[in-house]
Structure 1
């Protein structure tokens, strides 16, 4: 998660959890304990808002025969997610932070409490600097506060939809989160609708995958990009027990050849992971809409050991940038302790992970013509859509070379030439209202 370079007590303006926020978290965590005490006596088949304690967090669960999704009440973090539920080896690609059931207190940022999987960030980034008097937490209240159950519905075609909502307080607004799973489709459709929240803001989806233990077992690729760039400033601070391997403020055109921080060292391969244990790095790639032909921008990761492919789809006009947060045991402060191993593949609109204030002024991406904020109008809702999915692939499927979009789905084509067809309604992410662009 990109903001961590500033999450150490109050350094860089990130506040420790205040009493009100701590109370909210403890109250939320208490839901699972109370539910366990009440047992089945307090529940029925009609309790559509029922919560389960999953990896230490009360969570709603949405499922069909193909996909099972858990989303935490606190922060709305989506994980674990199980794809190919009926397969001999179901697919569970998302990261669950290792401290989830340790009962740690006084974590340096609220978002670390439920940290897992994918979550919606508004405003995205560290937010260590106030903006017009607003003091947003890292990745915003949408990633840190308790969501409220709204509805659970099943359509005539079998589509299952879970809807939850959240009222923001730092800047008044309301966000509605919809998660949808459809029969026979190995994906999760997500839609966030923002009401109010007037003014500029960064925004993003913080998808985080678990890193395998085998070196280079996860092969990552993206749709054609017009700009590749490492973090413009130091991302990991050695004085705080953090270490990075990538050069500062360097550009690149190939994920397999990213400039290294160290002299006389070959370029870093950021297309295969894990490849540099002990480091925490950040880079960005900006999609090239001219090459997409009106189709979604995409990111893909292939686990060549477990033989599955994960992918995400988005509208590049809405979320132009994908951040790679490469955290392979490179942080040694609490709660990291050198044991966190994950890869964030985060579709965003923002200036790297620097937060709202930095993204509203001149910055390394905006100076290159990349959008880094959305303008929200109190009278016009704005929505953000993504698709994330995972499918089994043959042992010969190495790394996604391209995605071919078709009327009834898409085809993942590997560098080896092997291909896999996926039933998915990819036009969903391109149906965002013009006001959201």
Structure 2
């Protein structure tokens, strides 16, 4: 089945260029050029720009167009309201409804052509001159019911990475791995399992791996959830790419998205369209969901929600959910970072060696 030509919307400010695939609402391009070279650490599937050949199967739009970041509403299976996996927000057309040029940047607005549980959904993408960040928000208006939601960012790590995160309570895997049939794929981690040490998570063979070093292994696909500390002012993940000399940054409000789901995709799915070729990818999925179990499971009372980690949002009144993607060069002697903080109009990144990089940032965006 050949991939259809897709209409894209281009949004740019000084030092940053974004493209949105309007057919599915995926970020199709993210390039920062603030430091004199192009930095593009986020991932687009190898089949997204080429025909999917030798197949009579039809793939859901989000999979055929798999790219950089998109909103999942619901996250996982759509087993409450009929829709493809990850919901219409990741599978249906978005229509441009406005472009605001406010002097030091631009905001483009788009409306989802399908309703979700009766709610109208508007996507807003903002870029600012000199800021190496894409500010994303999604507003749900009206509707009724509860809904698990996640952003689905993916980082390209063909030569590995060192990962740093805001303080977490623990890491957990679900009851079962993503792939149960060894002919379809293979996972490395133990399911179910927990660990308060992210650098020592149990595997299925009784050993341990460091969740903050990529890759975990070869020919594996795994999903693990990191629980944010309740007192964190900002949630953050940095994927440092030493060989490329740059890093991807993903930011969130912990009150909105109390968990981060890491999806390690390194050749562990063998069926179409994956065919073992989806390698060197880390999904950094900021979420309010019950793992990837789907809409119905996230609505039910569960051990996460009992522990103070809600797994759905409630629709009805206005609901706004935000996320930030960024990129910049590596700095300091270490590839690990100890903190990310907001100060006035800057984001301060602190390397493990104590060195600091300050990046222009809209410090009110995630409040």
Same fold (TM over 0.5): yes
| Counterpart Cα distance in 2 of 1:199 and 1:205 | 20
C-alpha displacement of 1:260: 0.7
Helix, strand or coil at the partner of 1:357: helix
Tell me, in whole angstroms, the C-alpha distance in 1 between the residues paired with 2:204 and 2:68: 29
Matching of residue 91 in structure 1 with residue 39 in structure 2: yes
For residue 159 of structure 1, what is the aligned residue in structure 2? 105
Q: Spell out the pairing of 1:202-217 with structure 2 (5 A cutoff).
A: 202-212=148-158, 214=159, 217=160
Tell me, in whole angstroms, the C-alpha distance in 1 between the residues paired with 2:16 and 2:116.
35
Contact 1:81 1:94 in 2 (8 A): yes
Q: Distance in 2 between matches of 1:146 and 1:395?
A: 43
Contact 1:96/1:117 (<8 A) preserved: yes
Pair 1:329 & 2:277 matched: no
More helix by share: 1
Which structure 2 residue ranges, 5 or more long, are not aligned? none
CA distance in 2: counterparts of 1:392 and 1:86, whole angstroms: 8
Quick one: distance in 1 between partners of 2:363 and 2:193? Answer: 33
**Equivalent residue runs for 1:16-415 within 5 Å:** 29=4, 32=5, 57-84=6-33, 87-88=36-37, 90-104=38-52, 106-127=57-78, 130-131=79-80, 134-155=81-102, 157-169=103-115, 171-212=117-158, 214=159, 217-263=160-206, 265=207, 267-290=208-231, 292=232, 295-341=233-279, 342-377=281-316, 380-394=317-331, 396-415=333-352
CA positional deviation for 1:170: 5.9
Between 61-70 and 103-112, report the one with greater CA deviation. 103-112
Per-residue CA deviation, residues 368-421 of structure 1 (Å, 9 max, x unaligned), is 3310011101xx211111111111123624111111321121211122333211
Q: How many residues align?
A: 363
CA offset digits 1:308-334 (Å, max 9, x no partner) = 122122111111110000000000100
Q: Distance in 2 between matches of 1:428 and 1:136?
A: 31
1:429 is paired with a residue whose SS is coil
Distance in 1, Cα, partners of 2:71 & 2:11? 17
Residue by residue, what CA displacement relative to the aligned partner does 1:116-156 show, whole Å, maximum 9, x if unpaired? Answer: 101011111123xx32xx2232111010001111122211x
2:277 is paired with a residue whose SS is: coil
Return the alpha-carbon distance in structure 2 between the equivalents of residues 262 and 416 of structure 1: 35
Q: Kindly provide the CA deviation profile for residues 309-362 of structure 1, in whole angstroms up to 9, marking residues without a partner as x.
A: 221221111111100000000001000000002110000100011111000113
1: distance between equivalents of 2:104 and 2:307? 45
Q: Aligned partners of 1:345, 1:175: CA distance in 2, in Å?
A: 22
- Rg larger for: 1
2:198 and 2:20 map into 1 onto residues whose CA distance is 31
**Which structure has more strand as a fraction of its residues?**
2
Separation in structure 1 between the aligned mates of residue 227 and residue 298 of structure 2, nearest angstrom: 15
2:170–2:198 contact (8 Å) kept in structure 1 = no
In the aligned structure 2, how far is the partner of 1:137 from the partner of 1:240? 24
SS of the equivalent of 2:104 reads coil
Q: Distance in 1 between matches of 2:197 and 2:19?
A: 35
Distance 1:418 1:86 in 2: 18
Paired with 1:331 and 1:312, the residues of 2 have a C-alpha distance of 25
What CA RMSD, in Å, does the superposition of the two structures yield over aligned residues? Answer: 1.9
Please give the alpha-carbon distance, in whole angstroms, between the structure 2 residues aligned to 1:170 and 1:399: 39
